[in-house]
Amino acid sequence: MNSVVVQQPQQLALVARPMPEPAQGEVRIKVLRAGICGSDIHIFHGSNPFAKYPRVIGHEFFGVIDAVGEGVLATRLGQRVVVDPVVSCGHCYPCSVGRPNVCKTLQVIGVHRDGGFSQYSCVPEGNAYELPAEIPDEEAALIEPFTIAANICEQLQPTPLDVALVYGAGPMGLTVVQALRGVYGVEKIVVTDRIPERLQMAQENGADLLVDNSVIDLPTYLAEQGISPTLIVDAACHPTILPQAIALASPAARIGIMGFSSDECVINQQLITSKEITIVSSRLNRRRFPQVIQWCQDKKIQPRKLITHTYSYQQVEQAMALFEKDQKSCCKVVLTF
């Protein structure tokens, strides 16, 4: 079988590997589709602090169970499944309070251990969620990115009364916009980005107001419109954004951050406390796959809208280069196996 392997930073190769055998408690998945994510690009360039090499990348994938390890029921054979990349110990403090996504010995499939850009991949059976027949293959690889949105939304508790501001109209910003609109019924959603084509996509995914903050000063624009955001999501993740979000936020607002920048940013406690702002961070997902599968079944989200390109895994280099360099035309790029 073939796997997409980052041998070491900057060295990507299609490698023939022996067929993997599922260990005890694991299932083997014949992979059908996998989405490319910014973190795959970071592992490729050596800029992901958690990755070890060589590594089979890919953590947004879907396929069919074709073998089971010891202790796994044979009834799982043939199931169409999506994979939760979060592998946790189950007994440390974060695990015991329901937060396996920040397990002390967290292993992310495709980052800390081999992932889904492979014709076959073995994962713990509890990480493989059966996909109902009515959800098509095309949408399946998009479930994982929506679990990121589900996780941050769970913490922010959006309501129809909210006026939301979303920074960034990349895949993460757009999944959040779809969830705010389709799942939580948020009345007004403002999206800011610096790429007009991406703002256009934000509109197609449910945004009401679009602000290109490379040409328009966002605080001035919001003041002119009389908008004081009550819910802010930073899905652009530049360290200058949180201080601005705190300044723009309404009293009693919630702000969600998801960035991994190690650069410092200076924030003002008076602005936070005087408005009693809640700031939450969100990493990956805590068992949100069933919830997002339900969102798909209820047609509350439209994952397909985010897919701009599909390539065979044999063209992975071309697909990753396009995804990285052409943010104007790309949202989600999906590989088929």
Task: Point out which residues bind ligand NAI (CB under 6 A).
Answer: 38, 148, 167-173, 192-195, 198, 213, 235-238, 241, 258-260, 282-284, 327
Closer residue to ligand NAI (CB): 68 or 248: 248
Q: Which of 29, 37, 174, 232 binds Mn ion (CB under 5 A)?
A: 37
Q: What angle do CA 64, 178, 207 make, to 5 degrees?
A: 150
Give the contacts of 311 (CB within 8 A, at least 6 positions apart): 318, 319, 333, 334, 335, 336
Give the interface segment with Mn ion, choosing from 30-38, 110-118, 269-277, 291-299 (CB under 5 A): 30-38
170 binds, among Mn ion, ligand NAI, Zn ion, none (CB under 5 to 8 A by kind): ligand NAI
Closest separation in Å from C-beta 198 to ligand NAI: 5
Q: Which of 103, 174, 210, 237 binds Zn ion (CB under 5 A)?
A: 103
Output the residue with the shortest Cβ distance to Mn ion: 37
Under rule CB under 5 A, how many of the chain's residues touch Zn ion? 5
89 binds, among ligand NAI, Zn ion, Mn ion, none (CB under 5 to 8 A by kind): Zn ion
Q: Which of 3, 39, 48, 88 binds Zn ion (CB under 5 A)?
A: 88
Q: Is 249 in the site for Mn ion (CB under 5 A)?
A: no
310 binds, among Mn ion, Zn ion, ligand NAI, none (CB under 5 to 8 A by kind): none
Quickly tell me which residue has 């005890």 as its tokens. Answer: 24
User: How far is it, in rounded angstroms, from Cα 37 to Cα 117?
Assistant: 12
Closest separation in Å from C-beta 197 to ligand NAI: 9
Closest separation in Å from C-beta 11 to Mn ion: 21
Quickly tell me which residue has 């990755």 as its tokens. Answer: 51
Residues in contact with Zn ion by the rule CB under 5 A: 88-89, 92, 95, 103
Residue numbers at the binding site for Mn ion (CB under 5 A) = 37
